[in-house]
């Protein structure tokens, strides 16, 4: 029987009603008591690492979770991490870069309603997560609403309903039917994972709206090492307002600028329109292609935690990790 470590970080799944609204209150042992039948599937040890509303999750917490898995990696066959849904996709992406090539499953799950509620998705999600952690499912994934989603491809696309997460620009890894995992895709893995212990949290995100000027970009680039700009459609920047000169100035000062799109599916393609072409051909702005914004944020933090050399940053950004970028020609 497989031995799984349950790591608790808080979130709705572990929340209870308080005078000021739902707040994480339950321990991993209390969560496990709601699914006693799991002992027929795997052995479980519990570890309460954090107890946060996931809105309060930070890159420092990602490092703490990765270090916890590293410290216990040799003792368990798989890992289940309970987590709030709001930033779960960011954490799944971050762990995909901090723990690369894991042959053992690292499964994140949570819920839209607390485990103590009568109408809850918590029990099914948690039981399914254990089932997946006890299977041959390498790498980092999110298991939610009977779907298995690659850690670098997950995005929360519904705020309330049980089908909270979608797989963006990549097929789901599998589904669960009547407690049985039907796996469609198996991630590549190594014989042993490679762990990383550094992130640069000075990565900012700017979402364009019509009429946005360069002031916001200047402000963020002055205070951060990298800026991700969520542009419109396949990508580009307004020709008025000084954006081009802003990007050129800060890239010459050593900042990293990435262009991505606000559109969830199909990705960017800066070469299509004049508003994007010069950014890539003349300035060398990095392009996110089919990556999720969550993955771009986490990947830049990981890369800049390892190097600041422009050529190496570009090489690592375009090197696929856990199928995070699959654009043709890369």
**pLDDT tens digits, 62-107:** 999 999 999 999 999 999 999 999 999 999 999 999 999 999 999 9
Q: What is the reported pLDDT for 16? A: 81
Query: In Å, how far are 98, 129, 252 from 4, measured between CA atoms?
Result: 20, 10, 48
* pLDDT tier for residue 241 given thresholds of 50, 70 and 90: confident
Does 86 appear as a known binding residue? yes
Is CATH 3.90.660.10 the classification given to domain 3-195? Answer: no
Is 39 annotated to bind a ligand? Reply is no
Fold of 203-318: Rossmann fold (3.40.50)
Known catalytic residue at 87 = no
85 carries a ligand binding annotation: yes
Q: How confident is the model over 218-230, as pLDDT tens digits? A: 999 999 999 999 9
- Please give the average per-residue pLDDT across 246-268, as a whole number: 96
Identify the sign of the CA torsion 187, 53, 166, 38: positive
Alpha-carbon distance of 14 to 25, in angstroms, equals 6
**Mean pLDDT confidence for 29-49:** 95
Please tell me which residue in 9, 85, 124, 261 is annotated as part of the active site. Answer: 85
Mean pLDDT, the chain, as a whole number?
Answer: 95
Give strand ranges (E) for 162-307.
165-167, 174-177, 180-183, 194-195, 203-207, 226-231, 256-261, 286-287
pTM as predicted: 0.96
Q: Are strands 256-261 and 286-287 parallel, antiparallel or unpaired?
A: parallel
% of residues, the chain, pLDDT over 90: 89
Instruction: Provide the token pair at 280.
Output: 């890539």
Q: What is the pLDDT of residue 330?
A: 61
Q: Where in the chain is CATH 3.40.50.1170? A: 3-195
Which residues belong to CATH 3.40.50.40 in the chain?
Answer: 203-318
85 an active-site residue? yes
d(CA 138, CA 115): 27
- Using the predicted structure, report yes or no on whether residue 168 has a pLDDT greater than 90: yes
Mean pLDDT of all residues in 111-124 = 93
Opening angle at CA 95, ends 89 and 101, nearest 5: 125
């Amino acid at each position: 029987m497989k031995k799984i470590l349950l790591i608790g970080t808080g979130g709705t799944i572990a929340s209870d009603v308080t005078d000021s609204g739902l707040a994480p209150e339950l321990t991993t042992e209390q969560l496990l008591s709601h699914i006693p039948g799991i002992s027929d599937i795997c052995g479980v040890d519990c570890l309460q690492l954090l107890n946060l509303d996931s809105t309060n999750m930070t890159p420092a917490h990602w490092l703490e979770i990765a270090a916890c898995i590293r410290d216990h990696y040799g003792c368990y066959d798989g890992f289940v991490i309970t987590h709030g849904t709001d930033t779960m996709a960011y954490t799944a992406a971050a762990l995909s870069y901090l723990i690369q090539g894991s042959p053992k499953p690292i499964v994140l799950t949570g819920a839209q309603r607390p485990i103590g509620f009568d109408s809850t998705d918590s029990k099914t999600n948690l039981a399914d997560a254990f089932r997946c952690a006890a299977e041959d499912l390498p790498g980092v994934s999110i298991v939610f609403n009977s779907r298995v989603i690659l850690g670098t491809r997950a995005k929360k696309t519904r705020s309330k309903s049980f089908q909270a997460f979608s797989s963006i620009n990549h097929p789901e890894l599998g589904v669960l039917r009547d407690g049985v995992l039907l796996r469609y895709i198996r991630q590549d893995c190594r014989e042993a994972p490679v762990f990383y212990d550094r992130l640069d949290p000075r990565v900012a995100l700017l979402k364009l709206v019509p009429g946005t000027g360069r002031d916001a970009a200047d402000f963020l680039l002055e205070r951060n090492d990298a800026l991700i700009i969520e542009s419109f459609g396949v990508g580009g920047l307004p020709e008025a307002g000084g954006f081009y000169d802003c990007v050129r100035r800060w890239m010459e000062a050593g900042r990293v600028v990435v262009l991505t799109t606000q559109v969830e599916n199909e990705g960017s393609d800066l070469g299509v329109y004049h508003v994007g072409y010069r950014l890539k051909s003349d300035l060398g702005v990095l392009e996110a292609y089919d990556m999720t914004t969550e993955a771009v944020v986490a990947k830049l933090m990981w890369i800049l935690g390892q190097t600041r050399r422009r050529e190496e940053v570009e090489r690592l950004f375009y090197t696929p990790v856990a199928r995070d970028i699959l654009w043709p020609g890369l």
